[in-house]
Amino acid sequence: MSLSLAARTPDPGTRLPNVGTTIFTVMSALAAEKNAVNLGQGFPDFHCDPALTEAVTAAMQAGHNQYPPMPGIAALRNAIASKIEALYGRSYDPNAEITVTAGATQAIITAILALVRPGDEVIVLEPCYDSYVPNIELAGGTVVRVPLVPGSFRPDFDRIAAALTRRTRAILINTPHNPSATVWTAEEMRQLEALLAPTDVFVISDEVYEHMVFDGAAHQSAARFPSLAARSILVSSFGKTYHVTGWKVGYVAAPAALMAEFRKVHQFNVFTVNTPMQHALASYMANPAPYLELPAFYQRKRDLFAQGLARTRFKLLRSEGTYFQCVDISAVSDLNEADFCQWLTREVGVAAIPLSAFYGNGFDQRVVRFCFAKKDQTLLSALERLARL
C-alpha cells in the first residue's frame, strides 16, 4: 500500500523582513494603468547613440560571445582607467584596480559584501538609494542612518562625526545625489576626508551620475582626494552615462588591496559581465565627447522642465546634478507625499516619487521627485497636464 504524500513548501523565513514591493514598481504600474506620463522611475525614454548598438552588433559578429576575463576585458578596463585619470587626476592600475560589473547595483552589494562583516556598522546618509540598506542587512551589518540636512540635503558633518564608533566599518556617499539632485562641493569632500583620516572607515562612493553636473560645476569624485581615494571603492554606471540602463553594465575603481577583496565576491556572485557589450563600450569610449557633452544635454532638459514647472504652484528645489527635479508640494496640496503622488498619477496623469520612500522612517517633508531624462515631447506633455496645478 503506497502512501499519498502531500506537497508542501517549507516556510523559508526571510532575510529581508522589511522589504516589499518598491515604490518604483508601484508607481510605474499605476502610471501604466492610468496612462499617465511616467516621470517617476529614473530611466530615459529615448534611444542611445546608434553607433553604440552598432558596436555591440559588430562585437557579436566578430565572435566576442564567450566568457570574458573575470574582472572585465582589458580594453575596457584600460579605457576606464584613462578616463578617470583624465578627469580626476588619479591613476588606477587597470589590471589590479578596475573591475567591470553587472551594473552599479551589483557593484554596490559586492562592495558591501566584500567589506562588511556581521556586527559592523555602516553609515548611510538619508534619503538614499533603496538598495543600500538591504545590502548592508544581507551582509549582517548594522545600518546607521544619518539624515542629510532637511531642505538643502547637504551633509551634516557634526551628525556624521557623532555616528562614528569603533564598530563603524564603512560609509556610503552618493554625489550627484539621488533623489535630491544635490552635488557635493570640494569643501564637503575635504571635510569628509579630514573626518575619516584618523579612522579605518572605508568609503563606498556611488558616483553613477558623475557626468550630470550643471551650471559649470565639476563632479567631485572621491578619486580627486588622495586620502579618500586610498580608502574608497568608486562605483559608476555606463547605463546612466550612455542612456542604456537595461544593459546593466558598470564599473568600480579601488586600491589594489580593496579590489582584491571585491573580486573575491564578484567572481562568485556574477563571475563576469556581458562580453559583446564590453567590447562595444571599450571602442565607444575612444571618443570622450558623449560623456563630456552630457552635462549640457541634461541641463537643457532640466531648464525646459523647470521653466514649465515655474508656471505651477510647485516650489522648485535646486537641481545641481543627476536627471531629477525635486519640488515642494506644500502650496499645491495638504496630502502627504505618498498620497499626493498617488493622486497626481490618478487625477492629473503624471507620476512622481515621494522622497519619504527614501527614508527608513518615512520622513515626510512635502517633497516629491520628477525624472526629466525624457524626450522633450514627454516633458511637454507632462507640463501640459501639470499646468492645471
- Alpha helices for the chain (secondary structure H): 23-33, 50-61, 74-88, 103-115, 132-138, 157-163, 186-196, 226-229, 238-241, 256-269, 275-284, 289-292, 294-309, 337-343, 376-386
Superfamily (CATH) of domain 23-42+292-386? Aspartate Aminotransferase, domain 1 (3.90.1150.10)
Question: If DSSP codes are grouped into helix, strand and coil, which group holds residue 358?
Answer: helix
Span 219-238, pLDDT tens digits:
999 999 999 999 999 999 99
- Residue ranges covered by each domain of the chain: 23-42+292-386, 50-286
Of 101, 57, 51, 58, the residue nearest 76 (C-alpha): 101
Q: How far apart are CA 59 and CA 39, in angstroms?
A: 34
How is 237-249 classified by DSSP, letter by letter?
EHHHHTT-GGG--
Taking the CA atoms of residue 98, residue 100, residue 105 and residue 111 in that order, the dihedral angle to the nearest 10 degrees is -40
Q: How far is Cα 258 from Cα 112, in angstroms, rounded to an integer? A: 11
Distance CA 226, CA 232 (A): 10
CA gap 177, 154 in Å, rounded: 10
Could you write out the DSSP letters of every residue in 180-199? T-----HHHHHHHHHHHTTS
pLDDT in tens, the chain (389 residues): 566 788 999 999 999 998 887 888 888 899 999 999 999 988 899 999 999 999 999 999 999 999 999 999 999 999 999 999 999 999 999 999 999 999 999 999 999 999 999 999 999 999 999 999 999 999 999 999 999 999 999 999 999 999 999 999 999 999 999 999 999 999 999 999 999 999 999 999 999 999 999 999 999 999 999 999 999 999 999 999 999 999 999 999 999 999 999 999 999 999 999 999 999 999 999 999 999 999 999 999 999 999 999 999 999 999 999 999 999 999 999 999 999 999 999 999 999 999 999 999 999 999 999 999 999 999 999 999 999 88
Q: In CATH terms, is domain 50-286 a member of 3.90.1170.50?
A: no
pLDDT digits (tens, 9 = 90+) for 326-359: 999 999 999 999 999 999 999 999 999 999 999 9
**Phi then psi for 312, rounded to 5 degrees?**
-110, 180
**Nearest partner of 213 among 290, 307, 294, 148, judged by Cα:** 294
Say if pTM beats, i.e. exceeds, 0.85. Answer: yes
CA angle centred on 71, ends 252 and 280, rounded to 5°? 85
Q: Which residue has cell 516621470?
A: 39
